[in-house]
Structure 1
Amino acid sequence: MSFAQVNGVSLYYECITSTRDSEETIVFFHGNGFDSSRWGHLIDGLKEDYHLLLVDLRGCGSSEPTLGEISWDLFVDDIYALIQHLNLQKFHLIGHSFGGSLAIFFTARYPKLVKCLILISINVLFPEMNGSTVIKNYMALIEKYGMTYILEHFLLPSLTVYPFRHEEAQRLYNMYADVPVENYTKLFQLQIEQRPISELSQIQSPTLLLAGECDTVYPSSFQNMTAVLIPDATFYVVPNAGNALFIDQPDVTVQWIKAFIKRKMNSPAAAKSVKQSEIASSVQHMWDSFLQTLLPIRKNNEPVMKVELLSGFRVTLNGQEILNGWNKRYAQNILVYLVLRPSCTREDLCDAIFPALPLPIALRNLKVYLNYLKKLLTYEEDQNSILKTDRKHLYLQGKIECDLLDFFEYIKQTLHHEDNEMEMYESCKRLFRLMRQKEIMPGIFDQWFIEMKARAEFRLGVLSAWMSEQEKKRGNLMKAAEFRKLANYYTSEEE
């Protein structure tokens, strides 16, 4: 670990020497909530041809926390002092999101230092008045629901295409969870309020802009408009990638970065000149249609409920966990049935949960149980409930997420790959990584649920046996034995 005392702050940095005799260096600026450790997906692909300098920005990662006000000038001064400390002359510069805005400010001030500029997932073009609206709404959401809610329901789905329980998504989740909320919001406010719009036309370096196809934070259409204002800019959309496209598609990202630098260093392109006013109306029009989807503000105050059933029972409603009350009046049993059978009648539910009771008695009891569950599932100040009923039907109103339904879908998708051995093998590996324990769907003993569990375990047994044979073919005998034990566990008559 290396630290440099520069500009009144201790900055953490890491220098990675090229495995070849290279004279080229790439400097990396990470995004808000990230640190230098998250560039690992690009390092292996770039370190052969370039020396790499990774830095934790002031107040981020292992660098010294910053007190008081921050500004772009302060961050630029930090980086320039570090560059001088390390005696770097000229280099290529990569910036992601917040780090991309910083890279623009830095390049505009020190144009002779930056050979090529690569901007990943940046958006500086939206009207000033809407920027303040974004900040106000975002801060209100953090204050009301907490950073965990923002992270799980807004940031992660836009940062990556990986599902929430995938190891890559979990790494991002844990990284963001460790970031002090005060620091995150301070950088977010700076990024929104002070955008490098006028600096775009000052950039003299060849610039590559990369946008993720699935990025809902900074849509590719807005990033393309940003590229128009940079004199010598190239814009690409990375397919099947979110905001952190270097995590979702590292190989493509490396390939395009290397090709861009090589091409621009060999034959610099002629710069273009575009006035900002020429696209102002287009930006405003695009923003008007997009603003409502930028932040997770639920239309008509639509609730979001997440139900975990795969490894245990857990319910969160609008980011708040409901801890108590599930062992009374069949609340857990009824909710699970409604989550897994979204549209049902009162009679359906009684047949499934109270099969031994005469239907009139079961229906009479159900009224009491439903009133209790409605109170348990209330949200907001007006005490609305996510559970809706009429004389015949029952349903949950809002956005319902369930890890068990996602798991069933993953099993289905895996089985669809049976004609392609390699795809099925990779899909199986991802499937079993999602499981935190052997036993699935514990703690619920209604007959309909037990039958569903048995069908799922049978499919897992088949896939475990198949994986055992695959690992044996690949010479991974220990893994083959583990999957064989797993297959026996799921197909055992005792189980």
Structure 2
Amino acid sequence: MTTQTYTQNGISYTYNFIDSHKETVVLAHGAGMNQATWKPLLSYLSEYNLLTFDFRGHGESDGFEFDVSWQVFHKDFRGLLHELSINEYHYIGHGHGFFFILDYITSYQPANIQSIVSLSTPGSYPKNVAKKGVRLRKSLAEEHGYSFLVDEMIKQFIHQQSSRHVDLLKKSFHQLNPENYFKLLDLNTSNFSYDNLLSINEPVLLLSGELDQNYPPQLNFISTNYFTTSKYYIIPDASNMVHLDQPQETARLIKKFIRQLSNHSGSTITVPKHFDELQQSIQSVLKDGMSKIDNNYSLKLNLLNGFMAIYKNEKLEGKWNQRKAKNIMAYLAINQTVTRENLCDLFWPDLTVTNGLKNVRVAINHLKKIFEENDLSTHNFLEIETDRISLATNIDCDVKDLIDQLNFIEKESNLNMKLIKYERVIKELNFPLFEGLYDEWLLSVRESIENRLRNILLYMIDHADEAGHSESKDEYKLLLEQLN
């Protein structure tokens, strides 16, 4: 075995290489941790080529200050795989490491991931509950200091509070810029998407600590229904970091999972005809349930057929047409967060930065007033910081809903049902889209959506006869004319 510990493009990594015929396992740590947290587990996985690394900003990697975004992490990871000529691999992720691979897969659809292992990390989580958890951590750090927060988090992460493990975690947390730690949490909580999970086809193993209070076993068990192929085990006498509390048992289950994948390669299992329908029913129940949880708190924003803000089925009245209020809310609904300077560029490009920032301040105060006039507290919806404005809650936006619906229908294998579903969605729209919103950034979104709808309608016209929808061709053509 050869062990390489190097830095590539500022990223510190360790590669234990046996030979090219052995399978490779990549391990990615959680937010605030580093690759050293994998050491107790690695000795039980010695038959594999093993790659561990420190995410940017963590451990020995560069990045005390950097743009905390999935794109940055994607680039770093792809660089490592290229540097080491890793073509196929099994992936083990804990916390941020698991959320990262979900985003990586939905962004690039890589064909070289053989399996995914989640350590005590659910595929989905009620967004508002997650955001409340982040706000709690922020308040603890503000009131008592970052070190106090770290001590409290460690109590949740490991059941076996050995001084060796406690010191290891304290060191790793303090290697990360606290500001970036909270940005990572915000990034992870904004990433929960039920529909994205359904698009993941890789086999998934979920391991959960019996005593985990951070992500309870019940929550991780529900996640098994999000993935096409999945297995789930609860590890006794372990909290969130099962690889520290019970490394041997964790490794045993991982090896068993990988071994079974190899043994079943090329084999087929006959399942009852109703199995797919049953699975879809379970997924529908879960999706509806998660949606209800989120919608109990979320603000709904309709943009496609004209601007409207709705909270708990009540329209939010106010002077939305003044001070760029609806424009800023529309941008946040689609992009989640924006800096004050970006708002200047978007809505007051002809003003100096100083005057632009004054307008931003006035616009934000105007938004506050609208919420207050509806007896609502602004901080339940917006996080207003010195340099940026972000959503403090999940917003149910019809633009995102439309895109999700089109993506879902695209996977429908029954041509007849596919055309029916497309027709139902398109008939609910009024053209032109985004009436009353004419910002340049939104016009590009509109153009992208309308181009996609045109292609869909052309597809519907071409396949109408084949699907037995000949009588609808003229209607499809009329809808296409509305778009043109």
Classify the TM-score, shorter chain.
0.5 to 0.7
CA shift at 1:242, angstroms? Answer: 0.9
2:286 match: 279
- For the residues of structure 1 that align with 2:173 and 2:66, how far apart are their CA atoms? 22
Corresponding position: 1:172 with 2:169: yes
Corresponding position: 1:259 with 2:256: yes
| Deviation by residue 1:342-385 (Cα, 9 ceiling, x = unmatched) | xxxxxxxxxxxxxxxxxxxxxxxxxxxxxxxxxxxxxxxxxxxx
Map 1:190-229 onto structure 2 (within 5 A): 190-229=187-226
1:135 match: 134
Structure 1: which amino acid aligns with 2:16?
I
Q: Relative to 1, partners in 2 of residues 1:58 and 1:196: Cα closer, same or farther, differing over 3 Å?
A: farther
CA shift at 1:110, angstroms? Answer: 3.4
Determine if contact 1:22/1:50 at 8 Å carries over to the other structure. no
Determine if contact 1:222/1:283 at 8 Å carries over to the other structure. no
2:6 match: 2
Structure 2: which amino acid aligns with 1:2?
Y
1:87 match: 85
SS in 2 for 1:84: helix
Corresponding position: 1:240 with 2:237: yes
| Deviation by residue 1:312-357 (Cα, 9 ceiling, x = unmatched) | xxxxxxxxxxxxxxxxxxxxxxxxxxxxxxxxxxxxxxxxxxxxxx
Q: Relative to 1, partners in 2 of residues 1:237 and 1:185: Cα closer, same or farther, differing over 3 Å?
A: same
CA shift at 1:177, angstroms? Answer: 3.4
Q: Rg: which structure is higher? A: 1
2:478 match: none
| Deviation by residue 1:141-193 (Cα, 9 ceiling, x = unmatched) | 2111112222223x112111123x63322322333234321121121111112
- For the residues of structure 2 that align with 1:285 and 1:111, how far apart are their CA atoms? 32
Structure 1: which amino acid aligns with 2:137?
Y
SS in 1 for 2:14: strand
Aligned Cα root-mean-square deviation (Å): 2.5
Task: Choose from 158, 177, 190 the match for 2:156.
Answer: 158
SS in 2 for 1:117: strand
| Deviation by residue 1:210-236 (Cα, 9 ceiling, x = unmatched) | 111111111111111112101001011
Total equivalences in the alignment = 280
CA shift at 1:281, angstroms? Answer: 5.2
CA shift at 1:68, angstroms? Answer: 4.4
Q: Relative to 1, partners in 2 of residues 1:3 and 1:93: Cα closer, same or farther, differing over 3 Å?
A: same
Structure 1: which amino acid aligns with 2:147?
T
SS in 1 for 2:25: strand
1:444 match: none
Map 1:304-319 onto structure 2 (within 5 A): none
Q: Relative to 1, partners in 2 of residues 1:285 and 1:216: Cα closer, same or farther, differing over 3 Å?
A: farther
Q: Relative to 1, partners in 2 of residues 1:55 and 1:197: Cα closer, same or farther, differing over 3 Å?
A: farther
- For the residues of structure 1 that align with 2:215 and 2:256, how far apart are their CA atoms? 24
Q: Relative to 1, partners in 2 of residues 1:201 and 1:158: Cα closer, same or farther, differing over 3 Å?
A: same
Q: Relative to 1, partners in 2 of residues 1:208 and 1:286: Cα closer, same or farther, differing over 3 Å?
A: farther
- For the residues of structure 2 that align with 1:258 and 1:62, how far apart are their CA atoms? 29
Structure 2: which amino acid aligns with 1:130?
V
Q: Which range moved further: 79-88 or 113-122?
A: 79-88
SS in 2 for 1:162: coil
- For the residues of structure 1 that align with 2:240 and 2:159, how far apart are their CA atoms? 9
Determine if contact 1:94/1:103 at 8 Å carries over to the other structure. no
Determine if contact 1:111/1:203 at 8 Å carries over to the other structure. no
Q: Relative to 1, partners in 2 of residues 1:120 and 1:78: Cα closer, same or farther, differing over 3 Å?
A: same
SS in 2 for 1:101: helix
SS in 2 for 1:94: strand
CA shift at 1:55, angstroms? Answer: 1.2
CA shift at 1:238, angstroms? Answer: 0.8
SS in 1 for 2:169: helix
1:99 match: 97
Structure 1: which amino acid aligns with 2:254?
I
SS in 2 for 1:125: coil
CA shift at 1:137, angstroms? Answer: 2.6
- For the residues of structure 2 that align with 1:136 and 1:262, how far apart are their CA atoms? 41
Determine if contact 2:123/2:226 at 8 Å carries over to the other structure. no
CA shift at 1:63, angstroms? Answer: 1.0
CA shift at 1:83, angstroms? Answer: 0.9
Map 1:404-443 onto structure 2 (within 5 A): none
2:59 match: 61
Q: Where do 5+ consecutive residues of structure 2 fail to align?
A: 296-484
Q: Relative to 1, partners in 2 of residues 1:274 and 1:60: Cα closer, same or farther, differing over 3 Å?
A: farther
1:12 match: 12
Determine if contact 2:29/2:97 at 8 Å carries over to the other structure. yes
- For the residues of structure 2 that align with 1:283 and 1:213, how far apart are their CA atoms? 23
- For the residues of structure 1 that align with 2:188 and 2:36, how far apart are their CA atoms? 21
Structure 1: which amino acid aligns with 2:54?
D
Corresponding position: 1:43 with 2:50: no
Q: Relative to 1, partners in 2 of residues 1:196 and 1:111: Cα closer, same or farther, differing over 3 Å?
A: farther
Amino-acid identity (%): 24
- For the residues of structure 1 that align with 2:91 and 2:192, how far apart are their CA atoms? 19
- For the residues of structure 2 that align with 1:124 and 1:145, how far apart are their CA atoms? 31
SS in 2 for 1:74: helix
- For the residues of structure 1 that align with 2:170 and 2:294, how far apart are their CA atoms? 28
Structure 1: which amino acid aligns with 2:14?
E
CA shift at 1:122, angstroms? Answer: 0.9
Corresponding position: 1:74 with 2:62: no
Q: Tell me the TM-score normalised to structure 2 length.
A: 0.54
Map 1:284-323 onto structure 2 (within 5 A): none
Determine if contact 2:194/2:287 at 8 Å carries over to the other structure. no
CA shift at 1:282, angstroms? Answer: 4.8
CA shift at 1:286, angstroms? Answer: 9.0
SS in 1 for 2:218: helix
| Deviation by residue 1:72-101 (Cα, 9 ceiling, x = unmatched) | 232122211221222111111111111011
1:230 match: 227
Map 1:345-494 onto structure 2 (within 5 A): none
1:31 match: 30
- For the residues of structure 1 that align with 2:125 and 2:291, how far apart are their CA atoms? 7
- For the residues of structure 1 that align with 2:117 and 2:125, how far apart are their CA atoms? 21
Structure 2: which amino acid aligns with 1:87?
S
- For the residues of structure 2 that align with 1:2 and 1:208, how far apart are their CA atoms? 30
CA shift at 1:123, angstroms? Answer: 2.6
1:457 match: none
1:351 match: none
SS in 2 for 1:112: coil
- For the residues of structure 1 that align with 2:20 and 2:125, how far apart are their CA atoms? 44
- For the residues of structure 2 that align with 1:198 and 1:68, how far apart are their CA atoms? 29
